[in-house]
Amino acid sequence: MPFGVDEAGKGPALGSMFAAAVHLEDPVALPDGIRDSKRLTPDRREELAATLRADDRIAIGVAEITPVRIDDPGTDMNSLTVEAHATAINDAIGSFGSAA
C-alpha cells in the first residue's frame, strides 16, 4: 500500500509546523494532477484536498507541532519532524476506512 508523508512550516520564524500523511489502499485512487502542490493554484489544491478526503480508499493524517514545542530548548527540529511524521502516519492508519 503506497504511503507518503511530508511537512510544511519547518523553517518559518512564526507559526506551527505541520506534517501530513496519505495512505492509499489503491494507488489508482489518486486523482489526476497531483504532483508538486507548489505548482498548483490555491483553488486546485482545495479541489484536490476535497477529492482526497471524500475517497474511502485514501486516509489522511495530520500532525501539528506548535511554536511552544518548537521553541522548547529541550527539543530540536529533526526530532520534532520525526515525531510529526510518525503522528501523521499513525493518524492516517487509524482513520483508514473512516471519514478522514
Q: What confidence tens digit (pLDDT) does each residue in 3-56 have?
A: 889 888 876 678 899 999 988 877 776 777 776 777 888 998 898 889 888 888
Domain boundaries, the chain: 3-97
What is the rounded CA–CA span in Å between residue 79 and residue 17? Answer: 12
pLDDT (tens digit, 9 = 90+) per residue, 59-68? 999 999 999 9
pLDDT band at 100 (very low <50, low <70, confident <90, very high): very low
What is the rounded CA–CA span in Å between residue 87 and residue 70? Answer: 16
The secondary structure of residue 73, as a DSSP letter, is T
The answer to whether 48 and 34 have CB atoms below 8 angstroms apart is: yes
What is the rounded CA–CA span in Å between residue 42 and residue 63? Answer: 21
Question: What average pLDDT does the segment 64-79 reach?
Answer: 93
Res 99: pLDDT? 47
Class of domain 3-97: alpha beta
**Count of CB atoms situated within 10 Å of the CB of 84:** 26
Closest CA to 1 of 68, 96, 72, 75: 96
